[in-house]
Amino acid sequence: MKGRRMADLMAEGDQDLGRRVGELKAELFQLRFQHAGGSLENPIRLREVRRDLARVLTLLRQRELEAERHG
C-alpha cells in the first residue's frame, strides 16, 4: 500500500476505511490460523496485512484528530 496505494486510501471515505479494517482483521485472523496449522503458503502476506491494517488505522486516527482540532 505504499506510495500510490496510500494515496488511494486517502481518497476513500471513513466508512470505506472502516469496512477495510474489518476485512483486513478477518484476513489476518485466517493467516494466523493457517500459520499456526503449518499450512500458510506465503508467510510474507502476514507482514503485508499487518502493515496495511496499521496504515488504515493510522489514517482513520489522523482524520479523527483533525476533526477534533477543527470541530
Contact criterion met (CB below 8 Å) for 56 and 21: yes
Count helices and strands (H / E) in the chain: 3, 0
Cell numbers describing residue 24: 483486513
Q: What is the pLDDT of residue 1?
A: 54
pTM, full prediction: 0.89
Mean per-residue pLDDT for 31-40? 96
Q: What is the pLDDT of residue 15?
A: 96
Where are the domains positioned within the chain? 4-70
Write the class of the CATH domain 4-70.
Answer: mainly alpha
pLDDT over 90 for what percent of the chain? 85
